[in-house]
Structure 1
Amino acid sequence: MSERVVPPAARQRRRPTKQGVVLSAELIVDTALRLIEEHGADALSVRRLGRALGADPSSLYRYFRHTDDLMLAIADELIGRTLRVWRPTGDWRADLRELGLRMHAGALAHPRAAMLSAHRVTGRAHEIQAVEGIIGVLRRAGFPDPEAVRIYHAFVDQALAFGALDSAGTALPRAAREAEAEVWRDTYAHLPADTHPHIAATARHLVASMRSSSYPAALDLLLTAAQTRLDHLRAGTDG
């Protein structure tokens, strides 16, 4: 897509496309998400999207100015899908743990889209809702504003980074994933103790652990550190 702006009032198309559907921003985003998972970033072309929608490619400009505009909408939709099933309970640590795990699962459900969008800032409704919600959880827990922002930043970046990292692994062909898992079993598990004593001592744990994501453990470490920080603040110490 190119830089071509259509006034908002003129964006809605009411006539059905060739496939009998009425275009909407939501339909275009859903279709783009499906195509990205099938074809990667190459799916974000007006020609391919128009063909999938049974619509004239130029009609997409009624909803999105260019492909980056669409990419931001996709990123915001992924955030929205996570928020729709997250309900804070008042237990800040449990609430953030649940949200982090849902963010990670959402990335793995759309791995190629997650890799393309994890680093983007959308400034759109769902992202704004997420920022407001997470900072609200932290402020209500008793974190001072600077600490709330610091922990928010670390929490979100950690979730997005692990989502992108693990999505990249998920997007690999199955044979490649299996070959990498075998490296831990066939190489690391057989390194001699006289040359690699620490690997040899922990080999069985490495083989068992390295096949799965470390995000749950990393998330727990972050939340434990945040709890410790909050305890220090409540006690009037700074450590």
Structure 2
Amino acid sequence: MAKKVVPEEARRRRRPTRQGVVVTQHLIVETALRMLHEHGRDGLTVRRLGLALGADPSTLYRYFRGIDDLTLAIADELIGRAMHGRRPTGQWRTDLREIGLRIHTAYLAHPEAAVLTASRVSGRANEIAGDETVLGILRSTGLPDADVVRIYQAFVDQALAFAALDAASLALPEAARAADEQVWRATYAELPAETHPNIAALAPLLVARMNDSAYPAALEMLLDSAEASVRRARRDNDPDRTTAP
């Protein structure tokens, strides 16, 4: 049976820990993010979390139903950080671009947490607010509802997929990541044109690009497609548009 989660107001009345701090849900999430950075995904356990907080490990269950519930809170925290301080411009493409890049940046700042949470749906406040914002931006273009949902899904999944992919690379041990990056220079750039004409012809460009994230370019491609859909929807809804016989 899942343990009862204590309301936030009751949690605030808790006595300070041995380290002189009052445990809150936010403090647990912050501590978990630090532990993921220092020890990786396997290092995030109830026992270690209790030690890091200077509290009994069972303290976690006053705030979360377990590590998986904490994982969802971490996912929501990353989205909250991505959206914090955002200033909408009223230009739908500009605003979507900024949100996508903000999500990517926020996740890459915590690569272990990104790999752990990018595929999760938390249903929590920051995630819901972010979804509401993106849907509102898309609806402001006049797109049909079906297109709004189609582009919304592609936008969110693309941002999180690239965040997970790029974070997984950053989470590798330094030696492994350096070795992967060197492959483009030491292997691909040395392939002869006689056997690999396409790679050889493009080798300088491949070396220059392939160790960087493709997300900004992929995001622009998605926005180009969305803009084409917006133009088509506006053309179809234009009462003055004449049709060819």
Q: Secondary structure at the match of 1:137?
A: helix
Which residue matches 2:50? Answer: 50
The one-letter amino acid paired with 1:108 is L
Which residue matches 2:3? Answer: 4
Residues of 2 paired with 1:43 and 1:73: CA distance?
Answer: 17
* Of 78-87 and 151-160, the range deviating more from structure 2: 78-87
Give the deviation of 1:208 after TM superposition: 0.4
Residues of 2 paired with 1:186 and 1:25: CA distance?
Answer: 48
Deviations 1:70-106 (A, max 9, x none): 1111110110011112222110101111111111111
Residue 62 (structure 1) aligned with residue 81 (structure 2): no
Give the deviation of 1:3 after TM superposition: 2.7
Which residue matches 1:229? Answer: 229
Which residue matches 1:196? Answer: 196
Contact 2:75 2:120 in 1 (8 A): yes
Residues of 2 paired with 1:19 and 1:213: CA distance?
Answer: 41
The one-letter amino acid paired with 2:189 is A
Give the deviation of 1:7 after TM superposition: 4.0
Residues of 1 paired with 2:10 and 2:86: CA distance?
Answer: 35
Give the deviation of 1:115 after TM superposition: 0.3
Contact 2:14 2:23 in 1 (8 A): yes
Contact 1:78 1:106 in 2 (8 A): yes
Residues of 1 paired with 2:5 and 2:155: CA distance?
Answer: 37
Give the deviation of 1:13 after TM superposition: 4.3
Identical positions, percent: 62
Contact 2:6 2:63 in 1 (8 A): no
Which residue matches 1:154? Answer: 154
Give the deviation of 1:6 after TM superposition: 3.6
Which residue matches 1:98? Answer: 98
Deviations 1:161-194 (A, max 9, x none): 0000000111112222221121111111111112
Structure 2 residue runs of 5 or longer lacking an equivalent are: 238-245
Residue 82 (structure 1) aligned with residue 82 (structure 2): yes
Residues of 1 paired with 2:196 and 2:95: CA distance?
Answer: 41
Deviations 1:145-164 (A, max 9, x none): 11111111000000000000
* Of 195-204 and 7-16, the range deviating more from structure 2: 7-16
Question: With structure 2 as the length reference, what TM-score do the two structures score?
Answer: 0.92
Which residue matches 1:20? Answer: 20
1:209 to 1:19, Cα distance in 2 relative to 1, 3 A: same
Q: Over aligned residues, Cα RMSD in angstroms?
A: 1.5
Which residue matches 1:119? Answer: 119
After the TM superposition, which segments of 4 or more aligned residues of structure 1 sit over 3 Å from their partners? 9-13
The one-letter amino acid paired with 1:231 is R
The one-letter amino acid paired with 1:103 is I
Question: With structure 1 as the length reference, what TM-score do the two structures score?
Answer: 0.94
Q: Secondary structure at the match of 2:185?
A: helix
Count how many residue pairs are aligned between Structure 1 and Structure 2: 236
